[in-house]
């Protein structure tokens, strides 16, 4: 008899507690191989394709696209073994007990070699329980007689289900907000026709139904009250139908979840916990740009990969942190200690279609401009494609924020908690500048430093920023630290 194994959402690492289903890569009835990706999920860190550690036939899926699942929640069930064809029957699936020793050994030998944090394939679940059908989360489970064996795989919702049972089946709703709105107004979602793709019920469909229901009592209230005022008083005054005003603006609401929710939580925590301050200075970046042009134009033995402006600022940052290590720190309030960090893991802000992410360049203090430039390019490409791993998005000790790419001069950025400082770089633009007593047009950039006032005072922050500006204006200053 086939073993029907339940695959749960694994711990994807870095303390993540939930993930949102972006798209299913398999359907019920599909045959999957060990380590085959079965679902794409979005965490607060990145988009991840989750591989299944079992090989067999998919008998059930749990959760619609757009649903948020906690770590440990069931993702799907897979019938493993020669009799996988009989694993599904009447929409109910039984999760088998632990297999015999030889079966377990076989499963272990053919197990996954691509194990994520929190799950593996060396053993099957050691309990028996009933799990819900694939998508029909509302269909009651029906226990069949033991002698009834299906001749072939059947869908999770069989064609023979009576019409009255289909009424209590799945509802084409993804958004929890839509469900809550319908519940608050006493609407049965099964009575609505969705206007979205494939009949998906949208918030506008619910609001339209609420408006239609509230309009009916309004037109009939007068005669009903005249005939029996005491009997009709209660229904007319129903609060759920008498409050269309809050929904009148018809604004679009976006749930704070996934990467957007993570950004909101982290920035809110930073503003709440960190007493930050900002100082800034204008610097003449003309000589820095000349130095970069000379490096990129080099030929022969001196030639090499192109160096980016961001890489030069990163190299200046690491040199400044070596002089002012107080800013490469974090605060441990539980022990009331300032923790000065030995390694510089440099984060840089990158805007993507999914939102703001901060990839981290590991051991930036050991890298030169060429290595930094290559790593920035690699991480930026992964950020744009949504393939950054949680490990590439965490562990930063200092952040470089190049908001100049948006065409702005200055900003007071929010510190990336739990770091202690962030250097902001504005656009480099031609401006009038006094140089050696003469007015000239130079390439000027505004630099800002936002720092945690708990780790240092203004003198340290000002010294750091002034050193950065000196290196920008006179790149030869960096020769001292080579």
472 vs 164: CA distance, rounded Å: 75
Helix (H, G, I), strand (E, B) or coil at 200: coil
Using alpha carbons, list the distances in angstroms from residue 203 to 63, 191, 198.
19, 14, 15
Answer for the pair 3, 79: CB distance below 8 angstroms, yes or no.
yes
Contacts of 356 (CB under 8 A, 6+ apart): 263, 349, 350
Cα angle value 212/215/218 (rounded, 5°): 160
In degrees, to the nearest 5, what angle opens at C-alpha 5 toward C-alphas 3 and 8? 175
Q: Using the 8-state DSSP alphabet, how is residue 82 labeled?
A: T
Of 147, 345, 417, 453, catalytic: 453
Q: How far apart are the C-alpha atoms of 256 and 311, rounded to whole Å?
A: 33
453 is catalytic: yes
What is the crossing angle of helices 286-297 and 458-473, to 10°? 50
**What sign has the CA pseudo-torsion 320, 322, 324, 325?**
positive
How many CA atoms does the CB half-sphere of 280 hold within 13 Å? 14
Task: List the catalytic residues.
Answer: 453
């Amino acid at each position: 008899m086939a073993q029907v194994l339940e695959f749960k959402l694994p711990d994807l690492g870095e303390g993540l507690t939930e993930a949102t289903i972006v798209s299913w890569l398999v359907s019920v009835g599909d045959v999957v191989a060990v380590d085959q990706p079965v679902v794409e999920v979005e965490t607060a860190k990145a988009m991840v394709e989750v591989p299944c550690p079992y090989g067999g036939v998919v008998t059930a899926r749990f959760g619609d696209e757009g649903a948020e699942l906690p770590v440990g929640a069931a993702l799907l069930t897979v019938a493993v073994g020669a009799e996988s064809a009989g694993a599904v029957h009447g929409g109910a699936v039984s999760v088998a007990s632990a297999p015999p020793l030889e079966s377990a050994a076989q499963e272990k030998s053919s197990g996954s070699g691509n194990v994520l944090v929190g799950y593996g394939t060396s053993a099957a679940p050691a309990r028996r329980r009933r799990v819900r059908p694939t998508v029909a989360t509302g269909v009651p489970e029906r226990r069949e007689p033991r002698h009834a064996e299906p001749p072939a795989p059947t869908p999770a919702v069989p064609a023979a289900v009576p019409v009255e049972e289909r009424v209590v089946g799945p509802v084409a709703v993804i958004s929890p907000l839509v469900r809550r709105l319908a519940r608050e107004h006493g609407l049965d979602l099964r009575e609505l026709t969705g206007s979205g793709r494939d009949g998906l019920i949208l918030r506008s469909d619910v609001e339209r139904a609420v408006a239609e229901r509230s309009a009916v009592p309004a037109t009939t209230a007068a005669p009903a009250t005249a005939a029996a005022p005491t009997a009709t008083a209660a229904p007319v005054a129903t609060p759920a139908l008498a409050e269309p005003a809050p929904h009148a603006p018809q604004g679009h609401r976006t749930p704070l979840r996934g990467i957007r929710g993570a950004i909101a939580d982290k920035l809110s925590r930073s503003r709440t916990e960190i007493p930050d301050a900002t100082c800034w200075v204008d610097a003449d970046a003309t000589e820095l740009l000349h130095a970069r042009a000379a490096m990129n134009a080099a030929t022969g033995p001196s030639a090499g990969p192109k160096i980016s402006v961001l890489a030069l600022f990163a190299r200046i940052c690491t040199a400044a942190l070596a002089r002012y290590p107080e800013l490469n720190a974090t605060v441990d309030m539980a022990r009331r200690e300032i923790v000065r960090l030995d390694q510089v893991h440099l984060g840089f802000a990158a805007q993507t279609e999914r939102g703001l992410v901060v990839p981290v360049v590991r051991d930036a203090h050991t890298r030169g401009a060429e290595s930094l430039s290559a790593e920035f390019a690699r991480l930026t490409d992964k950020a744009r494609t949504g393939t950054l791993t949680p490990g590439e998005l965490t562990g930063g000790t200092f952040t470089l924020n190049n908001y100049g790419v948006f065409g702005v001069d200055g900003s007071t950025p929010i510190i990336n908690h739990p770091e202690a400082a962030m250097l902001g770089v504005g656009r480099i633009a031609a401006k009038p500048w006094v140089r050696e007593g003469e007015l000239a047009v130079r390439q000027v950039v505004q630099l800002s430093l936002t720092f945690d006032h708990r780790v240092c005072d203004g003198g340290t922050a000002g010294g750091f920023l002034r050193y950065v500006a000196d290196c920008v204006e006179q790149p030869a200053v960096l020769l001292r630290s080579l």
